[in-house]
Amino acid sequence: MYELAINQSKDGQHQTFLDTRAKFVEVLGKQDETLNEGKWKPFFTVVPDLNLDNILIGMTHWNSLEGFSATAARLLPQKEARDYFSSFNPLAYALLQTVDGKPFDFETIKKNGLVVEFAIRKGKTPDAFGEKREAFFNSLNDYDGYKFAREFKVYKLDEQSVPNLAENTQAVIIVWENAEKFQAAATPIFSTKEYQEFAANLDVETYFATSPTK
């Protein structure tokens, strides 16, 4: 189980956001239920006028959904969590499980220099993630610098903070060798038949191109 959190610091609180996040992550890393953690800095999105300088994307690898829930109940009342959560506005939040049920090597998206795309999309049709999705991602193999992509089921929290599977919704992580190769590929990709036919069946809830950061 992977926790994805995309947060934007409140006005005038970016350093507080960074400082309190570091303290919270230190506490989080000491929990038996957490296996790995990382953060990424966005440099591109499709939302106009969104200030990327005060946004961070964080992911945590949990041992299970039950482990996540138990730890959240234990940590959220603590000062480190309260201070951190009061310093930002959440832009997106989800719990993820691989669609294929196979393990995901978290370290493969944390290496310096990579470009990592994060997206959450809801299908407009029942087969939105079927053949047209396969055709598009197979076409990415033709571009220099493309490394891999993984699809995830998306769970969202209800008002009682209980995770529920989001209907016909998937998250994807797409990895490129470096920014230069990603940028060279991006414009031609958007004009391809494979991309346009796949994208026509989607509502994109969240999209960021990012770089791993410490």
Amino acid identity, position 69: S
User: Could you tell me if 214 and 131 are in contact, meaning their C-beta atoms sit under 8 angstroms apart?
Assistant: no
**Residues in the chain with pLDDT values less than 50:** none
- Cβ neighbours around 213 below 10 Å, total: 12
pLDDT at 160: 81
Residue 204: the pLDDT is 96
CATH number reported for the structural domain that contains residue 172 in this entry: 3.30.70.100
pTM comes to: 0.94
pLDDT at 49: 87
Q: Residue 107 phi/psi, 5° resolution? A: -65, -20
Count Cβ atoms below 10 Å from residue 97 Cβ, excluding itself: 16
Place of tokens 């992977």: 2
Report the 3 state secondary structure along 86-102: CCEEEEEEEEEEECCCC
Give the separation between CA 39 and CA 21, rounded to whole angstroms: 11
Domain count, the chain: 1
Which amino acid is present at 48? P
pLDDT recorded at residue 75: 93
Q: Which domain holds residue 11?
A: 2-213
Question: pLDDT tens digit string along 17-55?
Answer: 999 999 999 999 999 999 999 999 999 998 888 999 999
Closest to 38 in 3D by CA, of 47, 49, 29 = 29
Amino acid identity, residue 96?
L
